[in-house]
Chain A
Amino acid sequence: MSVLQIERLSIAFGGVRAIDDVNLTVPKGCVFSIIGPNGAGKTTLFNLISGVYRPTQGQVLLDGTDVSGFAPDRLARRGLSRTFQNLQIFFRLSALENVMVGRNRHETTNVIQDLLRLPSVWRQNRATREAAMAALARVGLAADADKSAASLPYGAMKRLEIARALASEPQVLLLDEPAAGCNPVETEELDDIIRAIVDDGVTVVLVEHDMRLVMNISDRIHVLANGRTLTEGTAAEVRANPAVVEAYLGTHNARGRAVA
């Protein structure tokens, strides 16, 4: 049963096809990784799936429904959430308030009720706070709830974004390079966090350069190069594929670091 399906997806910027005829199917409840060299189109693909960009061509199906061209907030309301490669923290807010924004799609009060602070708003705030605290705890940031988000170390900000996305209770969570800039210990923690998320029934789509993390955690790996699909398979299959090594290292440079 697939929760996310992409059919013949393309987007062109000017004359350049950043994503060119990509197909992929993400089974429910798995970790699905998308890898590829810099400029392969991984983040562009995320932007297409999450509605930040509109595809030039092709379809995105979320839980069987065609959601191509939906605005990001509409997709969020259908259970798709994401984090950002270059952090998009709400720096004016505390860590907890950042995560409370993630509850937005579950909040039902309108702006008039909010202005008057009716009892419904009061109850809403309390429910939101509790859910946000729980999400913070899942990424190990419960103790930092009242700190200014801007004061957190980089690795904690990365986890804060995950908590914020989790608070929206997504069925599909897109993680864009969560391990970038993290030290080995933080990456190890990240591994545990992602596994716990999947255990809760959330499907995780991961874009990541840290190959140890990718190879450890992924159920399936989709390899992009120059906006096109190079191959897809399990970690072992991808690792053994000479085309993948070539895409990363280039044909003329056989030396250098291995993929895994």
Chain B
Amino acid sequence: MPRLIDSRYTPLIAVALIALLLPLIFPSPYYYRIGALVFIFALAVIGLNLLMGFAGQVSLGHAGFLGIGAYAVAVGPTHLGLPSWFCIFAGAGASALVAYAVGQPILRLKGHYLAVATLGFGIVISIVLTNEAGWTGGPDGMSVQRLVLFGWPMHGSKIWYWIGAGTLLVGVALALNLIDSPSGRALQAIHDSEVAAQVLGVRVARKKLSVFVISAVYASVAGSYLALLNGHVTPDLAGFMRSIELVAMVVLGGMGSVFGSLVGAAVLVVLPQALTSFHDYEHMMLGLIVMGFMILLRRGIVPALGAALTGRAL
């Protein structure tokens, strides 16, 4: 069957259309905030999906990088007088360096052992953020100065909706580029058979490290945005529950599906808001719905629905 457009970029077009059209159905400006949260989380989830869904390496500590990014834009302007926009990049750089240093020893581990090692990494970051109270405000966190670009303060949900959407599009484009490239093929090969990839010349350790660093940068930028959107940051952002939430978004949306990352983030950001009417039973409902999704669509929402609709994986 001939294709009219290159289907490789379908997710990019889909995300762009969603971001443009969604405000048309927003009943109130409050929804811009939810949209911004979805896009920002989706950014972190795409990064984690490159690591988990494509390269097959788990991380239960990725919120640690959210934390580094968030505290970069909190600490940098407050204590060092650096501009916020610069601190987004500085945080991303710091996350990349930390991922590079931590990744060397722990990416040699596999499966459950890697999971526990990354878990430990995330815990270390959140403890550091909690204990270095002189810099970070401790468990209560600290306030974050507004981002100012070209003299304009970036204030309010609407602006962050569009900043989030724009950055997400860049994140989607980079991820799609990577997947269909020598590095991307090597990563997917590592997922299925490390030994086969290696005998074909793939430098397995180096490739794993590079995708770990890339995923850390995605999470770091998302963390910076969350802090700037909220105007406040606490160590919870780097905590274990956040890491699990990111992993749940990857798996729920679909391992190895870029568009699934957005869907997974959307479900887990929107559902708790939608379920607040259940009051005390809110978390129970959330848990049951997530279980239901996984039982019915076990490959994740997007791959499972894609397969059902077209007869092949999306």
Contacts and interface: CB of A to CB of B under 8 A. Distances in A.
Q: Do A and B come from one complex?
A: yes
Interface of A: 50-52, 71-73, 75-77, 81-82, 84, 88-93, 97-98, 100-105, 107, 109-111, 114-117, 121, 124-125, 128, 148, 164-165, 168
A168 to B, nearest CB: 6
Contacts of A164: 196, 200
Given A111-B210, A115-B178, A116-B174, A93 B200 contact: no
A230 to B, nearest CB: 27
A90 B181 contact: no
B97 interface: no
Interface size class of B (residues with CB under 8 A): 20 to 34
Interface string B153-186: 0000000000000000000001001101111111
Given A73-B204, A111-B210, A92 B191 contact: yes
Nearest to A47: B195
Contact of A101 (B177, B189, B256): B189
A65 to B, nearest CB: 17
A73 B202 contact: yes
A71 B198 contact: yes
Nearest to A91: B192
10 smallest CB-CB distances across A and B, nearest first, come from A105-B201, A114-B181, A76-B201, A88-B196, A117-B177, A107-B182, A88-B193, A72-B198, A90-B192, A114-B183
Given A90-B189, A115-B174, A101 B181 contact: no
A49 to B, nearest CB: 11
B257 to A, nearest CB: 12
Contacts of B185: 93, 97, 100-101, 104
Contacts of B313: 148
A144 B280 CA distance: 55
Contact of A105 (B174, B195, B196, B200): B200
Contacts, number: 114
Identify which of B182, B186, B204, B312 gathers the most chain A CB atoms within 10 Å of its CB: B182
Contacts of A148: 312-313
Nearest to B198: A72
B197 interface: yes
24 contacts: A71-B198, A72-B198, A76-B200, A90-B189, A92-B192, A92-B256, A100-B185, A101-B197, A102-B200, A103-B182, A104-B182, A104-B185, A105-B200, A105-B201, A109-B183, A111-B210, A114-B177, A114-B178, A116-B177, A117-B181, A121-B181, A121-B182, A125-B180, A125-B182
Contact of B182 (A82, A98, A114): A114
B214 A76 contact: no
B202 to A, nearest CB: 5
B203 interface: yes
A47 to B, nearest CB: 9
Interface string B50-94: 000000000000000000000000000000000000000000000
B181 A88 contact: no
B274 interface: no
